[in-house]
Amino acid sequence: MEDNGACSYRRFLKGDWDGMTEIVETYYDGLVLFLERYLGNEADAEDVAEDTLLVLVNRKPDFHGKSLFKTWLYNIARNTAIKFMYRNRRTIPVSPEDLAGLSFGEEDALARCVRAEEAEKVNAAMRHMSEDYRLVLQLKYVEGMSAKEIAAATGRTVHSINSLLKRARSVLRDELVKEGLDYEKS
């Protein structure tokens, strides 16, 4: 299962620092978003994302290609975040990211306002959901990961992730109805 991240990492391991630069440029922002959901704030997420990339630089763990490089990297990030929370002896609640910041392309101002209003309703609905539900929805729909990739990144089974996604979508649908958003048209 070869991908660009794996090629870049293999080049880095052979001494080509441009490979690591490509990894940072490709994955850093997504790692921060993932970790912010996991840790609860951007500053800690940035620190742990940097620590995750330092693991690649300093320890040079083996990537065996049994998953996508991104999944493998997110699993390292999750483990690094767990160590960070343990070191800091705290549990940090996860808050939903403001979906209104997503790019909407060439839409007119009215359409952007409607989308921003809908995004705020989604945010409000997600605030009432469990951390696990918010995390799997973010990985699935914002990061575009498959259930298998989410399972690898979170240390759960694919069956568990599929169940979580099904329940999370159901809870989100119910919460969106409470927030006054017509779920079927969204």
What is the pTM (predicted TM-score) of this model? Answer: 0.58
CB 56 within 8 A of CB 9: yes
β strands within the chain, DSSP E: none
pLDDT at 32 over 90: yes
Kindly report the average pLDDT of the chain as a whole number: 80
Q: Which among 124, 150, 135 has a CA at the least distance from the CA of 94?
A: 135
- pLDDT at residue 56, as a whole number: 94
Residue 106 to residue 182: CA distance in whole angstroms: 24
In this prediction, residue 9 carries a pLDDT of 94
Alpha carbon distance 20, 11 (integer Å): 8
Q: What is the pLDDT of residues 144-179, one digit of tens each?
A: 889 998 998 888 999 999 999 999 989 888 888 876
pLDDT of residue 141 exceeding 60: yes
Give the pLDDT confidence of 77-102 residue by residue, as tens digits. Answer: 988 988 888 777 543 343 344 344 44
* Between residues 15 and 143, the one the model is more confident about: 15
Q: How many CB atoms lie within 10 A of CB 21?
A: 12
Environment class of 49 (CB within 10 Å of its CB; exposed 0-12, middle 13-18, buried 19+) = buried
Q: What pLDDT is recorded for position 93? A: 42
* pLDDT on residue 1: 42
Distances (CA, A) of 62 to 18, 50, 107, 151: 19, 19, 45, 20
**Each residue's pLDDT tens digit, 42-79:** 999 999 999 999 999 999 999 988 888 999 999 899 88
Q: What is the DSSP string of 1-39?
A: ---HHHHHHHHHHTT-HHHHHHHHHHHHHHHHHHHHHHH
- Asked whether the predicted pLDDT for residue 16 surpasses 90, the reply is yes
